[in-house]
Amino acid sequence: MEAAPDHYMVQHFGTDDILKDRHLLRSDFHCELAIQINGVPRVVASGDRIGLFAPFCRMWLELSPAGEVLGQWKWNPRAPVSNGVEKLGGARMASVRSVTLTSGNELYGRSDWPKPHSLLRFDRQSGDWTPVGTSAAETAGAPFIWLEGSDGDTLVYGSVGKKLAWFKPDK
């Protein structure tokens, strides 16, 4: 990898494709985003914030639409890491792979732990990803497989047959 000049990591374009604003200089963000061992970095947004998901650094950062840093959190590792895959009692455990931010600013992610196709919620206070039950989706015939995004406080997810479904998790 070659060093790049300092640059803004979040850019806001208008509907006319004109750059309206830029935020978060790379030199102010102390995490390597190019390494994708534990998942792909993502930018997601709600009505009042922009979130940056940096799985390699186990970090979540939130900005206001004006670019002010609202908070930065690191999540706890669940177990030692080997070759980019966390291990739990000898079993392999995948990291959080995709995230979405709801209109209520709840952060949800998809992982293959504690079971395949697990839905998790990030607890900013404890720094832990906690499992969210999806049995209601299973009972309704649309089991949770992957996280697609959110619509208000409802999660949009992929199910069997590549069909999209909606699920409102309990808090």
**How far, in Å, CA of 131 to CA of 113, rounded?**
9
| Residue 28 lies inside a defined structural domain of this protein | yes
**Residue 135 is assigned to a structural domain of this protein:** no
pTM, to two decimals: 0.82
Inside any domain, residue 33: yes
Top pLDDT among 114 and 106 is at 106
- pLDDT of 3: 75
Predicted pLDDT of residue 93: 44
pLDDT tens, position by position, 124-161 = 999 888 899 998 888 888 999 999 999 999 999 999 88
Report the 10 Å Cβ neighbour count for 153. Answer: 14
164 in any annotated domain: no
What's the pLDDT tens digit per position in 23-47?
Answer: 999 888 878 665 555 567 888 999 9
Longest dimension (CA), the chain: 52
Instruction: Indicate the pairing of strand 59-63 with strand 50-54.
Output: antiparallel
pLDDT on residue 35 = 55
Distance CA 53, CA 109 (A): 10
pLDDT value, residue 85: 47
Q: What is the pLDDT of residues 43-100, one digit of tens each?
A: 899 999 999 998 888 889 999 999 999 999 998 776 444 444 454 444 444 578 889 9
pLDDT at residue number 84:
46
| CATH code at position 65 | 2.120.10.30
**pLDDT at residue 95, as a whole number:** 78
* 104 domain residue, yes or no: yes
| Secondary structure (DSSP) of 75-133 | PPPSS-EETTEEEETTEEE----EEEE-TT--EEEEESSSSTTEEEEEETTTTEEEEE-
**How many domains in the chain?**
1
Cα angle 167-45-150, degrees, rounded to a multiple of 5: 10
Residue 143 within any structural domain of the chain:
no
Closest CA to 102 of 166, 45, 52: 45
Looking at the domain assignment, is residue 156 inside a domain?
A: no
pLDDT at 2 over 50: yes
Rounded distance between C-alpha atoms, residue 86 and residue 73, angstroms:
19
| Within a domain: 37 | yes
Provide the pLDDT for residue 34.
58
| Domain enclosing residue 37, as ranges | 8-126
